[in-house]
Structure 1
């Protein structure tokens, strides 16, 4: 059995991750978990997004894509060179020699060919090509191959999965020259004491928490304001993600983050969780504020609670 990190939805004609597919199913944008196909060139093998039709409380594992039939012989998904061998599309798809404990990788800059995602090739549009998975009747599944991640939403999905499996301290992710355990990388804003060293540090983190409001300013910029408070020394601090209008308008990748932001403007308090990767900038006037100014939407994720 193999798992793909992306598949093409025949219902909405978009390339989706399992997290995207789960969100689209809940929103009614897609209705059939079986209406996906492989994104490999010259391949139309049917893909099922397992578990999107189950309530979250009844899921033993998070949604994932599973092949429902054989790939075509010319499918380029399985022409990938791995560290110790080459996978040519045999039954296992991923070599047993591949290291099982390598870090995931989160890339802050996309390759040149990362434009609007169409039927793309492995390692060019951020596809985690294949993952060998093992399953028992009890539903336990382990993903062996590390992921190449280009949007924070996929990193959040990994964090949530590892949290449920109690693996946050054992699983890691590489970001540029830095490596983190997931438990170290993700910092909830609530009661977070951010000191001078953290503010000026180049070692970014993923900060997250419940949202107070999302507002659109007169100039078209959007501010995401957290309801949860951090502290600086002894002062309570409000945390805000400031998104420039140009960043919203110029995002070129087929990912629901733009709709997630714009559709959440005016949402009720504490109905959303927001995530941002970066280093907070301390700003003090009448109040103490921590502001994030992300360079692109790959560094932001919003999820409904």
Structure 2
């Protein structure tokens, strides 16, 4: 049960933080966990609660978020970088409060941008016509996401895991990899998807949390469990297709939990500052790879 006093204090704090935006990268250790379905359903419930949501799709190909929703995305973040289109022209609005940015091609070239390109991209997000309350990022598979090395105060990581043993071990390996880059500063939220009973999800989380604390000195946060009730439609949010389903209720609770995550201490999370840090992280990774190649040549 939530604490009303805490909720009021948190709400007041956010009012005092200008341009506050919740930024969440949703990822998984392997395919088949329902990561993209999770993004779709969280976005649906957040918009129903009056939030303006920007979904950044880092994936390319037939299985990306746009294709899953049956949307023809003819433009991408790369077109913004090349100055062929404005950011507002590339973003797809779908329903009240939901905005989708196809970004897979653009994300792949972040480490190759010139200083002028980086300044242009940051300015585009600073001038975005529609202010956003929440940014959900459907991350590229496993360790290939450009978001994983990001060191940004307002950035949250949600890892989707299913009951299959390979999903659990892959998710733990991903947590270990990310933690090694962030030296214990990253917060991890765990959502157990496709569960039979809630007790099963709790056992999975407890085992992961115990191992993470013992071997990585990392504390995990249990975001909840989504039952496998055969109501999750790939092309539609369960809130629209089956609003009284058990999975709909679970996603509703997960969305409320996300909204109530406490602000992290430090600078106020603004979208353009997030993009600036993302670019800096990718530039840093390029330098690290170049140094490693140089050292290897000797």
Return the TM-score normalized by structure 1. 0.27
Who wins on radius of gyration, i.e. which is larger?
1
Greater percentage in strand: 1
Q: Which structure has greater helix proportion?
A: 2
